[in-house]
Structure 1
Amino acid sequence: MPYANPTELYSSADLLAGYQPDAPMGFASSWDFGVFRQYIADGAASPKTLAIRRAQADHDAHISEALKHFLDNRTPKLVGIMGGHAVNRGDDSYRDVALLARELTRQGYLIVSGGGPGAMEAAHMGAWFAHADVATVDKALAVLAKATALPDLIGAIADDGTLVPDRADDLDAARRWMNAALEARALAPPETGESLGVPTWLYGQEPTVPFASHYAKYFQNSIREETLITNSRAGIVYARGSGGTIREIFEDAERNYYVKDAAAFIPMIFFDRDGYWQRDAEFDAAGKVTRPGLKVDDMMTKLFRLARGANADAYLRKIRFTTDTSEISDVLAAHAAVALQNMTHVVQGEPLKVSTAVLTRRMGD
């Protein structure tokens, strides 16, 4: 399968082209999963040839150009919602993220997330239902609960891109998981909200969710991560997550560490009703996690006091550990004008005017 060079962002219909909802192996027939199979056969993160590497890079350059045109047509206030793929559709935290994304979309923000399952799916699902009432959202969540757990497709594709025969049950579970999402999506009113999904074929074993209105899908995860962080200029909300979410937190923190002033500091919202980001994990005698947590609140305070000393409070006010929608809205609204100005510079081809365009590292930092 040759790698196409897209001229516009993908839609869910593009990614799901060929998908067969009623066939036990129908999940594997989608265009998206077919590209993933080719990606595996071509060496995955270590392309086998220069020609493959260049073809993937060319695709990613084209999708970045398509994203630029998308942003140019909207000049949106982009709010990132990051979080782990393991957040279950039946979890309270999933519903919390969905309702927050719904509310922020109603306020005129464009949600951007990773396009994958878990907290990412919740973000796109909430944005999709922006014009629905909460009762309708809860009906859709009940449909999603028919297939709550993410199917495990790791190892379901052999090195040559073929399907592993004894993984048929897992692929069928992925079909049921996707079908629940499609059934839930259909419950939305005719007017649906937009959101931007930025997934990657590096994690192609995680199904791309069908709730985003637009997708910028990449081969290179490093470009994808940079795209997520740099375009979330209005602020980033961090739902509970682990390795990948931590990477995004500290990439965001690095960006904010070097901003020229507090006005340029992009809000960081740590969002979990159980205080996940404000406690350490607890374990039993066998080392099993009994209460999850990743304590980052002290680290954020120490990092920005190290950066700003006596002036740190103005920066730290833009870091919040809260699930209060009104508080989150106020923090984002206070930064919205700066975010919109920066996005305007980007789409007008004036990147050096963006307040975070040049991150100058001082000696000793």
Structure 2
Amino acid sequence: MQTMPAHAAHHNDREIETLEEFDATVSARGSLAGFRVQAVDLTDRTRELLTTSAAGALFLGCPMREEAAAKVRTDGALVFPPIPSLPFDPYRGLVYSPDELFASLTDGPDGYENTPDAVAYAWFQRTKADGDVYASMLRAVHDDSVSDALDELLAGARVVGVMGGHAMRRGTEAYEGAARLGRELARAGLTVATGGGPGAMEAANLGAYAAPYDDEMLTDALRLLAKAPLFTPSITEWATAAFEVRARWPKGGRSVGIPTWFYGHEPPNPFASHIAKYFANATREDGLLARSNAGVVFLPGAAGTVQEIFDNATPNYYESRGEPTPMVLVNRAHWTEKLPTWPLLQALARERSMESRIALVDRIEEAPAALKRLSD
């Protein structure tokens, strides 16, 4: 089973991201001096704030009573108050969960359009069109907070990225194959990370979700999902089918999805247990590949997947201090004929003597063994 750690409750830095961490720090140290407190509701911790030193502390988006805020400012702390008009928290200390992004999915006739995910996308579209520097600053703060939370989440994990197109339909052999791939990788102790969207990405996250259950569970889940094969024309129906699977098998395995509101018309998939959603697609793309420290499997895709192949190949090409991460491309005909990416990748690999770190396989079932071989 995969060993992705839970969020570190006692990480060695000076960040406080939950009320439990706040209480433990005050109890153990008797001081908040120099700590960074992110998105923790301190409304009911006025006494502690009034009696504890906060010299040099930083409070990011932490609700607190005015007397407490005045006191910590007097101590020399910086206080960035919450911004209640925003549909997201720019200072968040943790990545998202599917339940958080899809809250209100079944409330009212508008379905998905009521969810925090859809509302954040609408805000992004509106403020991007306005060119508002304040909004762009808030997006940058949010994305940096998400990156920090993702680093903490994945500390010590062996992460395998699974890349592929969003157009892969539920109910197809290709989708089932991608799901079985995700399950096998998770059962091998690896953390599956995807772009967090529909299609091949969802299938790999689904496979990781199914890893703790017997094999029959995935077969049944695939059958249930096939009734809503695509996120168009109805994201609501597509997402509702996924949550039906989650409700029937509630103790799924962990995996990571890293989607973006830049492609907000594509919803995040509900099978990634942890969702690091970004506004900036470039930050998201680079971060996903950089964190795939145990290798990347590239399933058939279009322009986006081709871009990801070379985004991953570039740091491998220039790597001078360690081993390049393994790269496995699946479906020989796709990558040599339809989109002839493999010959160029081979040419780059020969220049830097990294042929032993890339592989092309015909069938998706061969990918785990190829990845292991490249890693040994």
TM-score grouping bracket, smaller chain normalisation: 0.7 to 0.9
- How far apart, CA to CA, are the structure 1 residues paired with 2:168 and 2:320? 36
RMSD between superposed Cα atoms in Å: 1.9
Q: What percentage of residue pairs aligned between the two structures are identical?
A: 36
Work out whether 1:106 is the aligned partner of 2:187.
Answer: yes
2:245 to 160, 177, 184: 184
The question of whether the paired residues in 1 share the 8 Å contact of 2:184 and 2:211 is answered with yes
Q: Is the counterpart of residue 332 in structure 1 residue 358 in structure 2?
A: no
TM-aligned CA deviation for residue 7 of structure 1: 0.9
After TM superposition, give the deviation of residue 333 of structure 1 in Å.
6.4
Compute the displacement of 1:66 (Å). Answer: 0.9
- Residue among 337, 340, 347 paired with 1:302: 347
Residue 243 of structure 1 deviates from its aligned partner by 1.0
8 Å CA contact 2:127–2:135 kept in 1: the answer is: yes
**Do 1:6 and 1:62's aligned partners in 2 also have CA atoms closer than 8 Å?**
yes
Aligned-partner SS, 1:111: strand
Q: Give 2:356's aligned residue.
A: 317
Kindly indicate whether the alpha-carbon contact (under 8 Å) linking 2:93 and 2:145 is maintained by their aligned counterparts in 1. yes
Shift of 1:41: 1.2
Amino acid in the other structure paired with 1:316: E
Number of the residue aligned with 2:26: none
TM-score (norm. length: structure 1): 0.75
State the distance in 2 between where 1:303 and 1:208 align.
33
Deviating above 6 A after TM superposition, structure 1's stretches of 4 or more consecutive aligned residues are none
Question: Distance in 2 between the 1:324 and 1:141 partners?
Answer: 17
**Do the aligned residues in 2 keep the contact of 1:77 with 1:233 (CA within 8 Å)?**
yes
| Residue correspondence of structure 1 range 47-196 to structure 2 within 5 A | 48-72=131-155, 75-151=156-232, 170=233, 173-188=234-249, 191-196=251-256
Equivalenced residue count is: 289
The farther-off stretch of 216-225 and 132-141 is 132-141
- What is the match of residue 273 of structure 2? 213
Of 31, 35, 49, 2:120 maps to: 35
In the alignment, what sits opposite 1:231?
291
Structure 1 residue 317 displacement after superposition: 2.4
Counterpart residue number, 1:270: 329
The structure with the larger Rg is 2
How far has the Cα of 1:19 moved from its partner?
Answer: 1.9
Q: Which amino acid aligns with 1:260?
A: S
- Would the aligned equivalents of 2:181 and 2:364 in 1 still touch at CA under 8 Å? no
Quick check: 2:171–2:229 contact (8 Å CA) kept in 1?
Answer: yes
Q: CA deviation at 1:318?
A: 2.1
5+ long unaligned stretches in structure 1:
152-169, 280-292, 337-365
Distance 1:299 1:334 in 2: 19
Tell whether the 8 Å contact from 1:20 to 1:30 is kept in structure 2 after alignment: no
Distance 1:324 1:221 in 2: 27
1:33 is aligned with what amino acid? A
Identify the residue that residue 6 of structure 1 maps to in structure 2: 92
Letter of the structure 2 residue corresponding to residue 335 of structure 1: S
| Distance (Å, rounded) in 1 between the aligned partners of 2:189 and 2:373 | 11
Shifted more, 2-11 versus 247-256: the winner is 2-11
Letter in 1 for 2:342: D
Distance 1:331 1:177 in 2: 32
Residue of structure 1 equivalent to 2:104? 18
- State the 1:14 CA deviation: 1.0
Give me the TM-score of the superposition, normalised by structure 2: 0.73
Counterpart residue type for residue 176 of structure 1: E
What is the CA distance between 1:334 and its match in structure 2? 5.5
